[in-house]
Chain A
């Protein structure tokens, strides 16, 4: 089960149909005796070909995916780096071509010309980046703070005292009206 969960999170499975498509592609790869880590292991979605490297894209989040090439110099520069394209092409979006996907990979780096629009997951990540950040921040703050309070309260003050709670929250100023609630049972 955990393997399935890990696999699903790696493949960014969001719908059941997508999962079935991925599984069918997996079966096709098995029939053709291709490795799973082969770049030609594709799962087509909405006209894009998401090869294995798509799953590595979050690691390269700093590399932006320009929806429209704003400068031609950028384009030519990318084409001049043809030698690097082979290595960096692990992060590209290519057109879906079920017959021969790996050879027909369009050499536009970072999905500049072909995509025009970022994949849904990328857009979702960018839209929800700030709320996720706030979520994690509050999560960290409350988890450490409440953990210290729980330790102090449940040990009847043996393992920590009022100052431990201050250190646990570290950002929260002592609030005179709430001191009683936290320390009533200490």
Chain B
């Protein structure tokens, strides 16, 4: 909600997929696609960097200095991105995420 409020004047796509869908189906100008995508990606990475810088000490305490794991007991990669659950197969991932993306 806050992101939509902040980005109101530009349409608040907040997602390159949404911008692409708008370009394809809603006659959103294609020349805006690349700047939008770049800005969205950069914003996400900058925000993740801010969060990492804020929590780096806590992460060090949580799983050790210099140790960063994706899976396991003390995995912290899930803070900044999402991974499929262990029980999910490739087909399951496809069918669980593609309808969501289409609905977006």
Contacts and interface: CB of A to CB of B under 8 A. Distances in A.
B77 to A, nearest CB: 8
A30 interface: no
B50 interface: yes
Please report whether the interface of chain B is mostly helix, strand, loop or mixed according to DSSP. helix
Interface in A101-139: 128-139
B20 interface: no
Interface string A151-186: 001100000000000000011010111111111110
Contacts of B48: 142, 146
B85 A180 contact: yes
B9 A130 contact: yes
A175 B54 CA distance: 26
Interface residues of A, number: 37
A93 interface: no
B32 A143 contact: no
Given A131-B36, A134-B36, A138-B40, A149 B3 contact: no
Contacts of A179: 85
A140 interface: yes
B14 interface: yes
B1, B39, B97 — which one has the most chain A CB atoms within 10 A of its CB?
Answer: B39
Contacts of B86: 180, 184
Given A150-B58, A153-B79, A138 B96 contact: no
Contacts of B83: 178, 180-181, 184
Interface of A: 128-144, 146-147, 149-150, 153-154, 170-171, 173, 175-185
Given A135-B43, A150-B54, A184-B71, 11 more contacts: A140-B6, A141-B2, A144-B2, A153-B79, A154-B55, A170-B1, A175-B82, A177-B88, A180-B84, A180-B86, A181-B77
6 contacts: A133-B12, A141-B47, A144-B2, A147-B55, A175-B100, A181-B82
